[in-house]
Amino acid sequence: MSCLNSQDWTAEGGIRLPILVSAKLAIAQAHDWGALVDAYLVDAAEVGDRFVAYVYGDLSGQLVDGMTIVTPPSEVIAEVEGMALLRTVSGNDHYVMVSRLPAAA
């Protein structure tokens, strides 16, 4: 089940995060992950060795909060409080998966 619903979209087409997701995002951003976090992923879905998700807090400034992105091939390297630190296979980038969608059957 998605953390976002139709009421979370604003009239301007942007996303307003639900309070629960905002709280989890704040917790993820405050946690010391032991790596420089390039971006935070909300409602992530695993597709092979990549993740599709809404992105927030992109360190590069090239991605707008709420954009849908596809990560490069990545792997989970740590899990804390239901969140996960991802590292790209190349080792160049790290993402924190704040929330995850269940796998399709």
Q: Give the DSSP per-residue string, 33-66.
A: -SS---EEEEEEEEETTEEEEEEES-TTS-S-TT
- φ/ψ of 39, rounded to 5, equals -170, 165
How far does CA 42 lie from the centroid of its chain? 4
pLDDT score at 103: 78
| Residue recorded with tokens 């190349």 | 90
The per-residue pLDDT for 2 is 45
What was the pLDDT predicted at 90? 96
Strand ranges in 12-49 using DSSP code E only, listed in sequence order: 39-47
Q: Residue 19 in 3-state DSSP?
A: helix
**d(Cα 34, Cα 31) in Å, to the nearest integer?**
9
Burial class (CB in 10 A: 0-12, 13-18, 19+), 19: exposed
Return the pLDDT at 15. 54
pLDDT in tens, the chain (105 residues): 444 443 443 333 455 666 777 889 999 999 999 999 999 999 999 999 999 999 999 999 999 999 999 999 999 999 999 999 999 999 999 999 999 998 776
